[in-house]
């Protein structure tokens, strides 16, 4: 998650709470498809991000994950990006993803259909139905815990 903070710090031009309509407060990979694809390729090669098409059985992919994690294939199939602690599905990040997709397409339809979020480890738009070797228990990151911690800090 430090990666997300670093990425956000690199592109922050506005004060917190200001309009994000131009995408200035968004991680660069949500706005730049080439950078997003480069980062996704890194996740594929360095952390076995996949499977390519989660709607297929992908038995070899899941068997390899199960062997690596020393769990059953059924258990391996439960460790998805959608429940990874590094999978950011906050409203802010979804707005960034929508802005990056643009209005030429149906950004919100695409986000919903692919169940997109943002991988804070590898810095790219990520589908909830996939996984990788860097999967971390405890997700997804909805942004609510961050808001709760900020609220607690304001009370002190």
Written as six digits, the tokens of 59 are 């038995």
Residue 103 has a pLDDT of 82
Assign 58 to helix, strand or coil: coil
Q: Residue 131's closest CA among 1, 28, 43, 23?
A: 43
Give pLDDT tens digits for 61-88.
999 999 999 999 999 999 999 999 999 9
Cα four-point dihedral sign 8, 9, 14, 18: positive
Residue 144 has a pLDDT of 80
Per-residue pLDDT of the chain (156 residues; tens, 9 = 90+): 444 444 444 443 434 333 444 456 899 999 999 999 999 999 999 999 999 999 999 999 999 999 999 999 999 999 999 999 999 999 999 999 999 998 888 999 999 999 999 999 999 999 999 999 999 999 999 988 654 444 445 444
Q: Residue 128's closest CA among 57, 55, 28, 63?
A: 55
With residue 126 as reference, give the H or E element that holds it: strand 124-127
What global pTM score does this model have? 0.76
Give pLDDT tens digits for 145-154.
654 444 445 4
DSSP H helical ranges for the chain: 2-11, 28-31, 33-47, 59-69, 73-76, 91-101, 107-114, 144-155
Assign 138 to helix, strand or coil: coil
Residue 143 has a pLDDT of 86
CB 11 within 8 A of CB 20: no
Residue 65 has a pLDDT of 95
């Amino acid at each position: 998650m430090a990666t997300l903070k670093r990425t956000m710090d690199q592109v922050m031009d506005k004060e917190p709470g200001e309009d994000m309509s131009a995408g200035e407060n968004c991680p660069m990979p949500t706005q730049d498809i080439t950078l997003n694809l480069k980062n996704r390729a890194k996740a594929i090669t360095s952390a076995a991000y996949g499977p390519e098409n989660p709607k297929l059985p992908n038995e070899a992919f899941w068997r390899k994950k199960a062997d690596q994690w020393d769990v059953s294939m059924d258990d391996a199939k439960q460790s998805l990006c959608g429940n990874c602690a590094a999978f950011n599905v906050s409203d802010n990040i979804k707005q960034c993803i929508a802005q990056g997709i643009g209005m030429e397409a149906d950004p919100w339809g695409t986000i919903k259909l692919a169940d997109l979020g943002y991988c804070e480890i590898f810095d790219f738009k990520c589908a909830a139905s996939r996984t990788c070797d860097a999967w971390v228990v405890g997700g997804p990151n909805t942004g609510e815990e961050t808001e709760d911690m900020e609220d607690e800090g304001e009370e002190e």
